Structure 1
Amino acid sequence: MTGLRIELRRSTALWAGLLVLVSGGGMLWLITSEGSLWKGNSTSALLELRLPIAYVWALVVGLATLQGMRDSRAGVTELFATTAKPTWKRLGTLAGSVAGVVAVATALLCAGLVARVVFHGGFVSIGFVPLALTAILALASSTLLGLAIGRLLPHPLTVPVALVATFMVATTGGRALEVRSPGDEISALALLTPVMNPPSSDLVTTSTSVDLGQLAWFTGLGATAFLLLVARGLLGRLAALVPAGLALALALSIMPTKYSDVLVPDSIASKLVCDDDVCVGQVHADRLPAVAEAGKAALAKLAVLPGAPKAVHEDTSAMAHLTAPQRSQQIVYLKTTGYPRTLAMSADEIRLELLSGAGVASCDAPNSFNTFEGTVRYITAGYFNGDLAKLASEPLMWTNGQLRGEIDQTWQRFRAQPAGEQLARITEVRRMMLACEDAERMVDVLKAGR
């Protein structure tokens, strides 16, 4: 314990811990907005940390590399080699102090994020634990690797090269996980870094295969780093590579190669809670009263349709932030990803969103824009509402003169038809929406163009 106290006082251990807390917290504050989703779910909070951890990771490795060069810079390498105290014990104390403080600081950073979620009245579950363990193990093992690199390569350029190389690996790995569709192939090597752009959904988490693969890899990396740090001869250093090699083989064998297998529904946060036939994910249970009010009103209006839907469910699928929402004849799916946020709307605005498309969600991916489908959604919502009204999800079409003119013209031609014909055309458009047929043809149907 005496040696540990000395190392804590004379090494960079405490500075490394402070670096994790300040840089991690500071970067997260700089890159996220006040309305970020992560404040509502502890799992999302830990996923949000995966982006700034790229900077923290590089800084910690650089500082650990500098610390690993201490004996060489002080010119006492040969002197310590002649002492009776085993090398592994002396360097193990150093490694334990620096890596231990980094691990504790990372745990405190994760705990602080969870506390922030609690403070904001958000949803907390044990789903954040694997993500926190991965972050802790990743930074601790990388700290050991930095110490080993500094001891083995005591050159003035070693520290900047280690820092820049770590940052480049982190950013490259993060970019390799940027995809446009769930079926995109990814490199399993990219998952060997703890870096990931957080998804714009608070209903998902990383899959078990990703968590286990990363934990296995960083455990093996830490073991190899420690053995390299204390090894004396060439044979010992070669043997030290075995744990990392085995961990790499294990990790790559279980890591997914499709993005749709990287993120999965958070089984706790996405569990449906219901008020009669209206359901939302458990993480959004606080919005259930407003959604239930809107959903029941919408179902009552949609009841005039043949084969009318019987329930309203939030779309809790893992890839809802990348693809069009689910569509079903029996269920009206509420899209809660993308902007503007549906769950932040009033009950009346949510009701209009559910009525638009005749109870069928958009065929377009989130944050996309299709003027023909927008027109269809306005007309169908207006039919059930009794008159046109602004859709919070399509404000541009309501305020733009040309687009608003197209909506008004379509509405007038639609309303000029007999009541029975109007219902028939709304029913036909609903069928087309379920099949995701051409939106321009849907507008023609509403205009009685065919």
Structure 2
Amino acid sequence: MTGLRVELRRSTALWAGLLVLVSGTGMLLLITSGSTWWAGNSTSAVLLLRLPLAYVWALVVGLAVFQGMRDSRAGVTELFAATSRPGWVRLGTLATAVAGTVAVAGALLCAGLVAKVALGGGFVSIGFVPLMVTVVLALASSVLLGLAVGRLLPHPLTAPVALVATFMLATTAGRALEVREPGDEISRLALLTPVLDPPSSDLVTTSTSVDLGQVVWFTGLGVTAFLLLVARTHLGRLTALVPAGLAVALALAIMPVKYSDVLVTDSIAGKLVCDDEVCVSQVHAAGLPTVAAAGRKALAKLAVLPGAPTEVREDTSAMAHLTVPQRDQRIVYLPSQGRPRVLTMTEDQVRLEMLAGAGVPTCSPPNTFDTYGAVVRYVTAGYFNGELAELPSDSLMWSSSRMRAEIDEAWQRFRGQSPDEQLDRVTRVRQMLLTCQDSERVLDVLKAGR
């Protein structure tokens, strides 16, 4: 313990831990300013840490490499090699001090996020634990690798090169994980880094295969890094590579190939909580009374339709940020992961959102805008509501004079038909939306154009 206390004072251990806390907190404040979705679920909060980890990771590796060159810079390498005390004991103490402090700092950063969620009244579950373990292992093993590289390559340029190389590796891995479709294949090598840009959702987490593969990889990397740090011979250094080699082979065999298997629905936070026929996720249970009241009123309005829906469900799919919302003839799905978030609206606004599209969500992929589809949503919501009203999910249509004119024109043509004809056309539109047919053609049906 005495040696450990000495290393904590004389090495960069405490500075490295402080660097993790300060830089991690600073980056989190920067990327979360103006957004609150992550504060609703402890798992989402810790998952969000993967985004600034690219910067923190690089800084920690650079500092560890600098620390690993200490003996060389002080000119005492041969002196320590000649002492009777085994080198692995002294280097192990240094590694424990630096890697341990960084690991504790990483754990404190995760714990701070969980505490913030808890104090803010958010949902806390054990789902964040695998994510926290991965972050801690990634930081600790990277520190050990940095110490080993610094000791083996004691050159003034080693530390800055290692820092830049780590940052470039992180950004390259992040780009390799960018996809457009859930079924797109991703590079499993990119999953060997702790970096990930999570979607703006409090309902997703990384899959078990990703967590397990990363734990295996970072554990093997840490063992190899420590053996490289204490090895004195070329044979010993070659032997030290075996754990990392075995770990990467096993990790790659475990890692998923498709992006849809990287992110999955949080099984705890996404569990449905129901009030009769209306259900929302457990993480959004506080909004159930409002949604239930709005849902019953919406289902009563929709009951005039043939094959009318009988249930309301929150869409908790993990790929909701990439695909069109789920649709089912029996169920009205609430796309809670969109913007604005349906479950934060008033009862009347939620009811209007359910009525729009005759109980069927938009067919537009996320981050796209379909004028025809938006007009259809406004007119169908107006039919059940008795009059046109603003839809928060399509507020741009309502506030734009040109687009508002399109809504009014479609509404007048629709209202010019007989009540039986209106019901028939809304019924046809609902069936077309269930199969996501061309939105312009759907609008023509509403306006009696076809």
For residues 39-74 of structure 1, give each alpha carbon's deviation from its aligned partner in whole angstroms, at most 9, with x where no partner exists: 110000011100101111001101110110000000
Counterpart of 2:295?
295
For residues 65-90 of structure 1, give each alpha carbon's deviation from its aligned partner in whole angstroms, at most 9, with x where no partner exists: 01100000000000000000001111
1:154-173 correspondence runs (5 A): 154-173=154-173
Find the aligned partners of 1:322 and 1:37 in 2 and give their Cα distance.
17
Deviates more, 1:35-44 or 1:216-225: 35-44
Counterpart of 2:272?
272
- The CA deviation at 1:338 is 2.2
Q: 2:196 aligned with 1:196, yes or no?
A: yes
Find the aligned partners of 2:233 and 2:75 in 1 and give their Cα distance.
19
- The CA deviation at 1:404 is 1.0
Counterpart of 1:250?
250
- The CA deviation at 1:293 is 1.1
- The CA deviation at 1:34 is 3.7
Counterpart code for 1:159: A
Unaligned runs of 5+ in 1: none
SS of match in other structure, 2:201: coil
Report if the CA contact (8 A) 1:322-1:365 is conserved.
Answer: yes
- The CA deviation at 1:36 is 2.6
Counterpart of 1:341?
341
Counterpart of 2:112?
112
Report if the CA contact (8 A) 2:38-2:200 is conserved.
Answer: no
- The CA deviation at 1:322 is 1.3
Q: Cα RMSD (Å) of the superposition?
A: 0.7
SS of match in other structure, 1:394: helix
For residues 312-343 of structure 1, give each alpha carbon's deviation from its aligned partner in whole angstroms, at most 9, with x where no partner exists: 00001111121111000000000011211212
Unaligned runs of 5+ in 2: none
Find the aligned partners of 1:40 and 1:327 in 2 and give their Cα distance.
26
Find the aligned partners of 2:120 and 2:386 in 1 and give their Cα distance.
39
Counterpart of 1:305?
305
Counterpart of 2:76?
76
- The CA deviation at 1:35 is 2.8
1:25-104 correspondence runs (5 A): 25-104=25-104
Report if the CA contact (8 A) 1:45-1:113 is conserved.
Answer: yes
For residues 145-191 of structure 1, give each alpha carbon's deviation from its aligned partner in whole angstroms, at most 9, with x where no partner exists: 00000000000000000100011111111111111111111000000
Counterpart of 1:363?
363
Counterpart code for 1:58: A
Q: 2:405 aligned with 1:402, yes or no?
A: no
TM-score normalized with structure 1 length:
0.99
Counterpart code for 2:12: T
Counterpart code for 1:448: A
Runs (4+) off by over 6 Å? none
Counterpart of 1:439?
439
Q: 2:319 aligned with 1:322, yes or no?
A: no
Q: 2:372 aligned with 1:378, yes or no?
A: no
- The CA deviation at 1:212 is 0.3
Counterpart code for 2:397: M
For residues 243-272 of structure 1, give each alpha carbon's deviation from its aligned partner in whole angstroms, at most 9, with x where no partner exists: 000000000001011100000111000000
Counterpart code for 2:303: A
State percent identity of aligned pairs: 75
Counterpart of 1:350?
350
Find the aligned partners of 1:264 and 1:31 in 2 and give their Cα distance.
23
Counterpart code for 2:341: R
For residues 126-157 of structure 1, give each alpha carbon's deviation from its aligned partner in whole angstroms, at most 9, with x where no partner exists: 00000000000000000000000000000000
Aligned residues: 450
